[in-house]
Homo-oligomer: A and B are copies of this chain.
Amino acid sequence: MSEKRFYIENASQFDGQTVTLKGWVYNKRSSGKIKFLMMRDGTGLMQGILFKGECSDQAFEEFEKLTQESSIEVTGTIRKDPRTPGKFEMGVQSFKAVQIADVYPISPKDHGVEFLMENRHLWIRSQKQWAALRVRAEIIRTIQQFYDEKGFVRFDAPILTPSSCEGTSTLFSTPYFDEKAYLTQSGQLYGEVGAMAFGKIYVFGPTFRAEKSKTRKHLTEFWMVEPEVAFNDLNDNMTLGEEFVEYVFQNVISKRAKELEILERDIKKLEKMKGPFPRISYDDALKVLEKRGCAIPWGEDFGAPHETALGQEFDKPVFVHHMPAQIKAFYFKQSDTVGGPGVTGNGKYALGCDLIAPDGYGEVIGGGQREENIDVLKRRIAEHGLAEADYSWYLDLRRFGSVPHSGFGLGLERTVAWITGVEHVRETIPFPRMLNTIRP
């Protein structure tokens, strides 16, 4: 690949130069002696202008044959045009049609979502889908940069696991030679291993839940980033989450302003996502819900309406901590009081912390401080009906140099939905996997 290949996103470096754009026809129109060719090359859109006389006669005639999405190599001169979105246009001299496309199924008119999902492999060429996935890529880059800069070590948890982290009802499974393996739901337990070896790590990979729910927030295959830090307590954990979310928002806003504009996302709203984020206990969250007319009894988990109500109360992401121990997984450290020291035994509260995004984007972070006492952990494993033998390696972390430690998981697709403002997580990943959806 030549270093000098022209790409639309770098047009400003080629002002006044004659270049060859390799890409596709986005659309076209004629107006007497002038023809307009909207071209895309994967990095952006650029308008080409064909003037009779300025461009070859042959090109002028062949223009008529071009169909939407035909592949083309177009040679011309780059010049400033402040009126166009990309600020540059091309005065076309000649072009070559690489392939004349069949009648393209996705026209500018409205299509049903089902049809678009069946044509996901083409739909992603459309402006809004294209922009959302560019933002996704930027979010991934920024996530990695945040942890790399802070000295966290990337630590890949396995996808194929012999047992489950949070129950077996929603697991995908495969024969694994003479055994059975499950697709991971979370890299956390493995991440804890990493934290004891490297101090601070992050797991970042695909996770799986065979959930039968059909909501705009659920995929069966989704990516999670899961930092885990030795010697971090619950408050350190919330501080890390807060710095992290702020960093991602501020970086993506500055790097992907053009894409967010295409998505008609109000950047002012995103700019407000700066720490400190409110931190309230579950008990206090219940009071907010009561005030807002959607009370729930102590001990119940939040649903979508409650998350929305909490978002409205604060208009910022809010950490809810100290949840009822009864609704949290076995590995949480517990406490008898909110804000009190952890107990070596079973407490009323779990030292968890969930970050609820505003505007109904839901829980984007779930995490907390882990139980570090081996006897308590063994009892919990039994109470949760799990087999201690499956967790012998996990218990080893408490046998050999146990330390207080915390971590969390952030769901990538929900974060992409939140930042891009797209309504359904199916538009936040190239090939969404959902209930009964596994194609293309």
Kindly state whether residue A153 has any CB partner on chain B within 8 Å: yes
Contacts of A183 in B (CB 8 A): 159, 174, 183
A153 to B41, CA, bound (A): 13
Residues A9 and B99 in contact in the complex (CB < 8 Å), given A193-B124, A196-B125:
no
Residues of B within 8 A of A119 (CB): 393, 396
Shortest C-beta distance, A129 to chain B (Å), equals 8
Contacting residue for A101 out of B144, B174, B399, CB 8 A? B399
Give the CA-CA distance A439 to B399 in the complex, in Å. 19
Q: Chain B residues near A172: list those with CB within 8 A.
A: 160, 174-176, 181
| In the complex with contacts A140-B154, A176-B438, A396-B161 CB distance below 8 A | no
By the criterion CB–CB under 8 Å, are B438 and A232 in contact? no
Instruction: Give a binary string over A200-221; 1 marks a CB under 8 Å from any B CB, 0 the rest.
Output: 1000011010101000000011
In the bound assembly, the distance between CA atoms of A9 and B144 in angstroms comes to: 20
Beta-carbon nearest neighbor of A180 in chain B: B438
A71 touches B177 (CB 8 A): no
- A25 and B134 alpha carbons, distance in the complex (Å): 46
The reply to whether A401 and B69 form a contact with Cβ atoms under 8 Å apart is: yes
The reply to whether the CB of A22 lies closer than 8 angstroms to some CB of chain B is yes
Whether B22 contacts A197 by the Cβ 8 Å rule is no
**Residue of B at shortest CB range from A44?**
B199
Cβ-based interface call for A16 (8 A): no
B98 touches A403 (CB 8 A): yes
Q: Interface readout for A387-428 with B: 1 if CB under 8 Å, 0 if not?
A: 000000110111111111000000000000000000000000
8 contacts between A and B (CB under 8 A): A2-B236, A71-B403, A125-B196, A133-B197, A156-B206, A158-B431, A177-B435, A393-B440
| Residue from B101, B159, B403 within 8 A of A206 (CB atoms) | B159
- A239: which B residues are within 8 A, CB to CB? 1
Q: Which residue from chain B places its CB closest to the CB of A202 in the assembled complex?
A: B137
Closest B residue by C-beta to A436? B177
A105 to B123, CA, bound (A): 55
B residues less than 8 Å from A178 (CB atoms): 436
One of A223-231, A262-270, A338-346, A378-386 at the interface: A223-231
Whether A221 pairs with B160 at a CB distance below 8 angstroms is yes
Count of A interface residues, CB-CB < 8 Å: 102
When C-beta atoms are compared, the residue in chain B nearest to A390 turns out to be B439
- Residues of the B chain whose Cβ atoms lie less than 8 Å from the Cβ of A190: 430-431
CB distance from A201 to the nearest CB of B (A): 8
Q: Which B residues lie within 8 Å of A140 (CB)?
A: 154
**CB contact under 8 A between A430 and B193, given known A24-B401, A121-B396:** yes
A174, B173: Cβ atoms closer than 8 Å: yes
Known: A159-B221, A430-B190. A198 touches B43 (CB 8 A): yes
Which of B42, B130, B181, B194 lies in contact with A230, CB distance below 8 A?
B42
Known contacts A99-B403, A198-B42, A438-B179: A397-B160 contact under CB 8 Å: no
**CB-based contact B24/A160 at 8 Å:** no
Does A376 make an interface contact (CB < 8 A)?
no
